[in-house]
Structure 1
Amino acid sequence: MAVSTYVGQVVRKNSLWKAVRVSVQKMKMDKFLTMYFNKRYHYWATDPEDKCKEGDIVLIKLLDEPQSARVKHTLKEIIFPVGATIDPITGRPCRGVDFVDIEAAEKCGPAFTEAKKQQQQSS
């Protein structure tokens, strides 16, 4: 039985088709070495609401009937949006492995606070 859902990263967006290209990493078995290696596959998925951005980590699902010769999947969920990252345990914004000081960020400019508001609205 084939797998019908994949997790991948959006690498390209086509607004005309309302579709995104998702890069999915799968494990491929090398029978000679008896080891698994990463192999990348690219799938086109429909994004009818046009809510995805390049860099988002998404969950895609296989369509019952393909939309076209290339587009055979649909966007099911945005798992991790690109942009201001919020630590899931503490709820504090972070950049890499360091936490961001909110007061200092507000003094620097409104771009960070707008990204944080957008992140909270999408949750």
Structure 2
Amino acid sequence: MARQNFVGMVVSHGKMDKTIKVRVQRIKFNKLVNKNVVRFTDFLVHDEANKCKEGDVVRIEYVRPLSARKSFSVTEILKNKGLSWIKYREDAPAVVAAEELRKVTQYKRDRESRLGLDGTPTVSEQLDVLRTAYNTQNFVPEHARTEEQKEAVAKVIAKYTPDGFLPSFASGPLYDLPIDKLRAELKALDGTIEQASFSKHAAAVLRDEPARADAILRAMGKIDPSAVPRNIKKNLLMKYFVKTLGEQKQEATA
């Protein structure tokens, strides 16, 4: 007669000798949710050879009860992962300490660079140098510049602009700030909303005012509007209304 057997992982050693705790994963159908649910059951198992370590994958088999709670015995060690788990636990503190030391060192280095403590100029100082050089080149005559100003401008030009021209700071953003990204996303969202509203308006005109729709299509170069499919008519009308509103906005702002 076949005996009940399971495959599980050794999670700990019992209080008694030759006793281990094995965790078995089983799947049971739950009628409430109408799905298979994973369940874990712990068994006290007899280990006659006393060879199993934490992390080993073993096969256990039902035997006659050896105690009130122990009625399974180890029959086979399928995967001997216990030794590698022990080695991992021994090496883990050193690995974690080395990783923490590396991160702390990197943080201190970044902080010194950010504050200028390591001798490198901060972002604010670099911007001040750029602004000073730009103002000197564009607003101070050549004959009125001091040797220090000439040297500063030459260094900035050699480092940032090999063509010998310092661009205006107003020509574009120095940094891609989050507010600029949000502004661009908001503008794109406004365009999407307007396009959706114009789509409804174009559909209404096409449904309620077919003569007006045909006149608009003829003005756009469609000789025979009746030969144009309805969905293409709608798209053309929507583009027409979007363009018309854009021109009206430009005239209003002007």
Structure 1 gap ranges (5+) = 85-123
Please name the residue that 2:20 is paired with: 20
Q: Quote the offset at 1:17 in angstroms.
A: 3.1
Return the index of the structure with the highest Cα Rg. Answer: 2
Distance in 1 (alpha carbons) for counterparts of 2:3 and 2:12: 23
Please name the residue that 1:57 is paired with: 57
Instruction: Give runs of aligned pairs for residues 86-97 of structure 1, distance below 5 A.
Output: none
Instruction: Give runs of aligned pairs for residues 33-48 of structure 1, distance below 5 A.
Output: 33-48=33-48
Please name the residue that 1:70 is paired with: 69
Amino acid corresponding to residue 80 of structure 2 in structure 1: P
Structure 1 runs of 4+ with >4 Å offset: none
State TM-score, norm by structure 2: 0.31
Amino acid corresponding to residue 6 of structure 1 in structure 2: F
Distance in 1 (alpha carbons) for counterparts of 2:36 and 2:42: 19
Amino acid corresponding to residue 19 of structure 1 in structure 2: T
1:74-116 Cα shifts (integer Å, max 9, x gaps): 00100001145xxxxxxxxxxxxxxxxxxxxxxxxxxxxxxxx
1:60-85 Cα shifts (integer Å, max 9, x gaps): 0001x20000111000100001145x
* RMSD of aligned Cα (Å): 1.8
Of Structure 1 and Structure 2, which has the larger fraction of its residues in helix?
A: 2
- Count of matched residue positions in the alignment of Structure 1 and Structure 2: 82
Identify which of structures 1 and 2 has the higher relative contact order when contacts are C-alpha pairs closer than 8 Å and 6+ apart. 1
Question: Could you say if the C-alpha distance between residues 40 and 80 of structure 1 is closer, same or farther in structure 2, counting changes exceeding 3 Å?
Answer: same
Q: Quote the offset at 1:42 in angstroms.
A: 0.4
Distance in 1 (alpha carbons) for counterparts of 2:35 and 2:14: 36
Distance in 2 (alpha carbons) for counterparts of 1:27 and 1:57: 18
